[in-house]
Amino acid sequence: MDGTRQDYYTAFHDTTMETTLVESGQTLPIMNVMDVTNSDAFTKVAALYYYTNTTDSTNSPKSSMAEYKTTDVVRMRCGSTSTYLDSADQLWWGDQAYDVTKKQPGYSVAGTTATSATTITNAPNDQALFKSYRESSTGLDYRFDVPTGDYNVQLYFSEVSSAANTRLMDIVLEGTTVATAYNPWAAIGSVNGRANIQSYDVTVSDGVLNININKNGSATTNPRISGIVVKKLQIQP
């Protein structure tokens, strides 16, 4: 199971029988069962079962093997369900809903998604990444199941609105406000159609990294985000 695949999470939690494995001319059913206890946004542990027949899939395992995949960085493209390979050959997973049963990171407030037609002038090679976005009048809420430890969080924004200084956002990580009235218009030089990345370090002690981007009381437009990157700061040997 390739950890960079878009179906990285769902495939590791597929408890339905699949008849796609052919061995010695015979099609055999297989099933993945995730080890939820030992999995998180970075690491996936599962048991892959091979069965002798489809009629008694539970009690007739032919063999089984453990699967273990891990990565040190998670990149999520907000506002688009399609994967994206950026100009540095880094893969971004498509946007998806948070699912604790699959240890699948994602949004818990759906809001709305869209793709802008405005050219992002300071990201010529990654237009698609910054043009798509998710926004919500009630605030954005993303969650990542992660081990206890320290992380770097990068938030990708672009301002494609014609109105200046209207999108003011309060950025909260793990319950702590790290930016008040963040103004993407001002951050990118008070011009339209430019990208901006905000970077923060955060400590997670409860097993879930919570990222909240709220509408500031002085804002007249909704919070909006184009991408999220979460990196481990403590790499295990």
Give residue limits of the domains in the chain. Answer: 8-70, 73-232
| pLDDT of 191 strictly over 90 | no
| Class level of CATH domain 73-232 | mainly beta
Tell me how far CA of residue 218 lies from CA of 163, 168, 183, 231, in angstroms.
14, 7, 11, 32
Least confident of 50-59, 87-96, 214-223: 50-59
3-state percent breakdown (helix, strand, coil) of the chain, nearest 5? 10, 50, 45
| Region for residue 62 given its phi and psi (left: phi exceeds 0; alpha: psi -120 to 50; beta: otherwise) | alpha
Kindly report, residue by residue over 48-83, the tens digit of the pLDDT.
666 655 555 455 555 556 666 678 899 999 999 999
* CA–CA separation, 158 and 88 (whole Å): 19
* CA–CA separation, 197 and 190 (whole Å): 15
| 229 or 191, greater pLDDT | 229
Residues contacting residue 51 through CB under 8 Å, at least 6 positions apart = 17, 28, 29, 30, 31, 57, 60, 61, 62
Kindly report, residue by residue over 165-187, the tens digit of the pLDDT.
899 999 999 999 999 999 998 88
Tell me how far CA of residue 201 lies from CA of 68, 88, 150, 178, 234, in angstroms.
27, 23, 7, 10, 12
